Structure 1
Amino acid sequence: MWFIPLLIVFLFVAFLAQEAAPMVLSSLLAMLPDGLWSMDIVARATVMVVPVFFFCAAMSVSFPVMLLLAFATGLLWDCAFAFPVSATDDGVFGVSVFLFGLLGAVMQGVRPFFVRGRWDVPVMVVGAGVFLFLFLEFLVLSLTRANVEFPFSLWIKISVSTMMSMVLAPVVFWVLYRLADLTGYEMGDEDQAERRAR
């Protein structure tokens, strides 16, 4: 029952700022208890809820809003998960902002498919984004520790996490489309307005 006031606030804000709805929903996801940020499934793999939502939302908004969303999501992700590698190290804070921004720019490349309602390519690109996000995050931690190893169990964990996250992507796409219908937001409008201005 604790989520009902949050849901009411979310709907109110979504009606006020139609393009800000993915950012507000991302902020609400950040308020989830630690166990729900990512759900353990098989082989210590996890469904990456927040990255999947970000990658899906990155396709539904314009580029400047995606960058703002990448900053907010990366900052929240680092606040929740950045930890010191050693007693003398402060951790790798801020890397997720860069990774979300970089991978969000890739998601913008398949935005035309998403706007047309074709979800096949975007679902695969979300899977590739999750794979790259997990791999690059592990690579940054390994380089910080000065111990770069890629055990077989890591590849299994990343692959299973990617597959399970790809299963979640169509659900998130459906939620984003319903939110767009609810708020009257037409995806791709800002692109058409930009072309007319040229």
Structure 2
Amino acid sequence: MCANLVANYKKRLTSVIANMGFQYWCQGQRTERPQTSQPSAPLGVTVTALPHASLTVEPHWSPIYTGETVSLRCGLSGGYTDWQYHWYKDGKRIEDAQPAGHTVTGDKLSITAVSVSDGGKYHCEGQRADRPLSSQRSDPVSLSVSGVRPRPFLTVSPLGQIFEGDSVTLRCEVTARPTATVSVSPKRPWYPGETLTLRCQISGSLSG
């Protein structure tokens, strides 16, 4: 009398690498006769990368000035739908902090009346109920917020007394606030008795 024996064995694969293909097959062994089974037919396994998130900022210029409205939009590749979007600032999820003036609508995060504290590195990711359950996080995007707006300067040409019938040119020029940076020479390490040179450099379009 013969008996049919079906054995199940499961192996979990961890840390698989995307965009790589594998061929698997299995074979059973035991101490009694028959000691081995025939090998199974090969099974091909292809690992696909998770959809990649991309983050864009509107307006595109930098810096953003306090009081303006900023929109961040999260795009996801792969053609999948029903995504729920999550937003992060400096590695911390924004929804957990619930900051004032932040509104999430679908794939867009809007920040109204932006402040200097809103500056930082942002990224986003998507999650869904079906496979794939999540996306890759987007590359970080830096948001720079300035509390000092550029100052306009008005000039008139020609200078001095202007007479009836003269041509007059008024020019309005907007310049960025100059910034100062300090450097030291020689560079670290510094040792007792050495002479250090500090240099202050002013950058910007103003002169004088």
If the length of structure 2 is used for normalisation, what is the TM-score? 0.24
Q: Relative contact order (alpha carbons < 8 A, sep ≥ 6): 1 or 2 greater?
A: 1
Q: More strand per residue: 1 or 2?
A: 2
Q: Which has the larger Rg?
A: 2
Structure with greater proportional helix content:
1
